[in-house]
Structure 1
Amino acid sequence: MARMGAELRRQDFVEATIRVIAEHGVANATTRRIAAQAGCPLASLHYVFHTKNDLFYAVYESLFSLPPQALEQVPAGATAAATAAEVLRQLITWFIDHPDAARAQTELFFWAMRNDPQMASKIYSVAIEATEQALQRAMGTELSEAFLKASSRLLIQLVDGLTIAWSAHGDLDRLRAETETACTALALLVASH
């Protein structure tokens, strides 16, 4: 049997954790259940991730790459307002295509706020920074640093709010309609700057 590299094994555990949390919640995301979902021995999980918090943070790290991925779909030469709206639209589209990630992200963040406030704060800070960098690359220097920070925070709040609402109502058509409303609002804000 061929040996699997630690990085590939790490990604398997992250993906398994997302599926387990989406199905069973954070409280029932045991390392045993995650290892079984990944099809790996429990000892391998403990070798790759020393603590469950390390594993949970790795799930977030895998989600931090979303803003740059969303920008790949944004047409070049768009206005700052259109770019911001399209980034929001593409992020929600990514979550629609990966509903387990949407559920896991929400569950994990609320868990972190209750059980590890420092992790929650770090997650939020890193998400803001990644979003700011993504918007900066997409929009160039059209926005001041203060407005870029405010726009990034609003974009994250809109994504979080839309995904939490979707978790509650489960209606994909409603999510798409609410996303378009949020895109229009974000575009109007950015255009007014």
Structure 2
Amino acid sequence: MSRRTALCDAAGIGRAPGCASTTSRWTVLDPTSRTPRRMLRAYREAGAARAVRAYLDELGRLSQCRVSGAEVEHAERSAVSRMSAAERRPALIEAGLRVIAREGIAGASTRAIVAEAGMSLASFHYAFESREAFLDELTAAVVARETQAVLPLPEVDGDLREVIEAGFLRYLEHLRADPAHEQAMLELTQHALRAPERHPLAVAQYRRYADFAEEALTLAAERAGVAWRVSVSEVAGVLVAFSDGITLNWLVHRDDRAALAAARAAADALSRMADPTGPEPTAPQ
């Protein structure tokens, strides 16, 4: 039996001449080992719709058999149908971020989001009670990602200004690596401010920012051995305002040097809101 026929036999798809098959459609050939395995079933059960498409495409290329669009669609539907709500939510959130960054909040309909995720509309309502609940969880997910990007603060042997600056630099790395997420967050803020019933979403978003800033500033003060002259929540508000300006300015200009200069100035200003907790160092005799 030729390799081409063996591949077609193993796949049970692509009825090209010489590719008659009597095996299950979910039995496929692992191209690396040339051993028949139920790889596609494993992909399907893992809920990897995109992996299913990629695997079918690769299988069709290797076997020179044509994989029809209907077969790919069937495989993707089968993969998604086995996903739990907990598995669907992260995939839908990532899809929503891409749509919002690309099309704006107005273009982020539930249909657009599920199309981006390769899911059905029913999948969305299975995972989220409403579009607003989805947007709230999306906001929380992005803020958590920002927190993970900055905290714990880098180990810096220096004063408070240097510790805060190191945190800003970590955030700038996160911003440069994935600007679409921050752009989507700005869209979400504007969306929440346009109607009174959605305003609590903006309040919740900035409460999360403030909580994150308070945690970072508390750690920075402990590490530098200083105490804030005002409440840490007040300092956190200033930090969030600086971060907003740096973020928006970088998204507009994509100027790394300007962002770095702004971060250093912000770190200097914030460090002046604290006093040392220990005794003043004595001058050498």
User: What TM-score range do you get, normalising by the shorter chain?
Assistant: 0.7 to 0.9
Where is the strand percentage greater, Structure 1 or Structure 2? 2
1:152 to partner: Cα distance: 1.3
Distance in structure 2 (CA, Å) of the matches to 1:52 and 1:91? 29
- Aligned match of 2:212 in 130, 135, 143? 130
Residue of structure 1 in register with 2:108 after alignment? 29
Q: CA deviation at 1:94?
A: 0.8
Larger RCO (CA under 8 A, 6+ residues apart): 1
- Aligned 8 A contact 1:85 1:187 in 2: no
How far did residue 133 of structure 1 move? 2.0
Match of 1:169 in 2: 253
Q: Is the 8 A contact 2:156 2:162 kept in 1?
A: no
CA gap of 1:78–1:69, structure 2 versus 1, over 3 A, is farther
Once the two structures are TM-superposed, the CA of residue 32 in structure 1 deviates from its matched residue by 0.8
The corresponding residue for 1:4 is 83
Structure 2 residue runs of 5 or longer lacking an equivalent are 1-43, 46-81, 278-285
Once superposed, what is the RMSD of the aligned Cα atoms?
2.5
Q: Distance in 1 between matches of 2:86 and 2:256?
A: 34
User: CA 1:145/1:40 → structure 2, altered by over 3 Å: closer, same or farther?
Assistant: farther
Alpha-carbon spacing, 1:190–1:14, altered in 2? closer, same or farther (3 Å): farther
* Structure 2 counterparts to residues 111-150 of structure 1, below 5 A: 111-115=191-195, 116-140=198-222, 142-144=226-228, 146-150=230-234
Shift of 1:169: 2.5
Comparing 65-74 with 103-112, greater Cα deviation is found at 65-74
Q: Which structure 2 residues correspond to residues 93-112 of structure 1 after superposition, within 5 A?
A: 93-112=173-192
3-state SS in 1 of match to 2:226: coil
Task: Tell me how far 1:6 sits from its aligned partner.
Answer: 2.2
Amino acid at match of 1:106: L
Moved more, 64-73 or 46-55: 64-73
Partner Cα distance (2:161, 2:191) in 1: 34
Give the direction of change, closer, same or farther, for the CA distance of 1:192–1:110 in structure 2 (3 Å limit): farther
Task: Report if the CA contact (8 A) 1:68-1:134 is conserved.
Answer: no
2:140 is equivalent to residue 61 of structure 1: yes
Deviation sequence 1:69-127 (CA, Å, 0-9, x none) = 30235115543332222222212221111111110011111111123111111221222
TM-score normalised by L of structure 1 = 0.86
1:41, CA displacement in angstroms? 1.5
User: Contact 1:16–1:38 (CA<8 Å) still a contact in 2?
Assistant: yes
| Greater helix fraction, Structure 1 or Structure 2 | 1
- Where do 4+ consecutive residues of structure 1 move more than 4 Å? 188-193
TM-score, normalised to structure 2, is: 0.60
What's the counterpart of residue 16 of structure 1? 95
Identity %: 26
